Structures are given as structure tokens and as C-alpha cells.
Amino acid sequence: MMVQKPTEAPLFPFWIEDRGLSFFFGFLVFITIFVPMVHLSRSGRIALDLIFALMLFSGAVATIRKKILMYLVIALTGVELIADLIVEFSPSLGHRGWDTTLKISGLAILVVMTLKHTFRPGPISVHRGMGGVAAYLLIGLTWAFGYKLLMQERPDAIHFESSLAGIPTGEPSRLIYFSFSTLTSVGYGDVHPVHRIARSLATAEALIGQLYPSILIATLVGLSLQARANAVTGG
């Protein structure tokens, strides 16, 4: 008689199912829409840093199944939060862009893992559809911090037609607005890239914004049809 080895309990049972993607999607919507409204005081910036770190953490446990990689992203989140706090209290260190680079790295990993989790074989649920939209929002946030990294080196890389008093053009809320305007091809005309690197980034983001919805829908429909065919044939 074979004795089965006890299976290892998951660290975060709630996130193992697809519903974790829906929670992550809701968190991203909150960050994208409401976070830019936070006042730019020191306490407000620290709150934003904590919210962003929580977003990376929730994304890691919602989309990554390999523990080593999940621990790596969680560790990266901790380092990124520490870097944000160091830059907050020592602004001169922020010009090096290392805190922004850590954000971009964490977001890029989450984009890949969210897509991998969304497009895995199996029945398509509403939660997985939300996972696909979550990846779309992550792309917009990744590009926003990419623009921020560029503007730390070239402050005039992106031109805003009207500058509000006391709000620097490199402030994240403005760049999130510009990023999603580019990603969705809205283009209100009040901001445009000037530097050649900013133009290249904007062009790439606009292309992704146009192609991604079509690819997402086609892939999810294909996976759904394949799952139904396998269910009928018993495969």
C-alpha cells in the first residue's frame, strides 16, 4: 500500500483560485483612478509608496505560482519600498532613478506573470478576463514610470501645455494620465512627447494599446473553444 505524501498547503489560499485576479484588477483600478488624487504632501507620498508596495505584493501572490519567483518579487517589493522611503527623506538620491527602476522591474515581472496566468489552458472565467484587463492596466503603469525615469534625466522630455502651480511635470499622477491617454489613443492634446526617446516610448505604447485588446479577445475565445472541445471529447 502506497502512502501518499501530504500536499503542501498554499501560503495564500485565497489567491490560488482565479478570484485573486479579480481582486488584483480592482486594486489596479483603484490605483489608476484614485491614487493620482492624493495630495502631494510628505504623508501623501508615503501613503502612495505603501499602496504601490501593496499592489506589487498582491500581484505577486495572485499571479505567481512558483514560490521562489514569488519570494523574489516580494523581496523586490520590500527593497522598492525601502528605496522610496530613503528617497523621500533624502531627495538628492532620487535623481539617480534607482527607486523608479525598481518599480519598473516589479511591474514588468507582474505583466508577464499576469498574462501567463490569464492565458493558461483551461476553462475561461470572468476572473481570467479581469486578469487580462489587469495586465493592460499594468502596462500603462509600467510606461508611466518609464516616462518618469526618462524625465529624471531629461525634465523637458514631455511637454505639458498647462502646468499647475506646485505640481512638477514629472509627478506620477501627470505621467499616469499621459501614459493611459497614449495607451488608449485618447490624445487630448494638452501633453505631448518632445524628446526622441519619449516619442519612441509613446509610439510603442500606442501600438500595444491598439493591438492588445484584439489579441486578448482572440486568445481568450480560442482558449474557451479549446476547453469546450476537450470537454466534449473527454480530453
pLDDT tens per residue across all 235 residues of the chain: 444 444 444 455 555 567 778 888 888 998 888 877 766 777 878 888 888 898 888 888 888 878 888 888 889 999 988 988 888 887 776 566 888 898 999 999 999 989 988 888 877 888 888 999 999 999 999 999 999 999 988 888 998 886 554 555 557 788 998 999 999 988 788 889 999 999 999 999 999 999 999 999 898 888 888 877 777 776 5
- 117 closest CA partner among 57, 55, 60, 63: 63
- 110 closest CA partner among 179, 170, 52: 52
Round to whole Å and give the CA distance between 105 and 145.
10
How is the chain split into domains, by residue range? 14-228
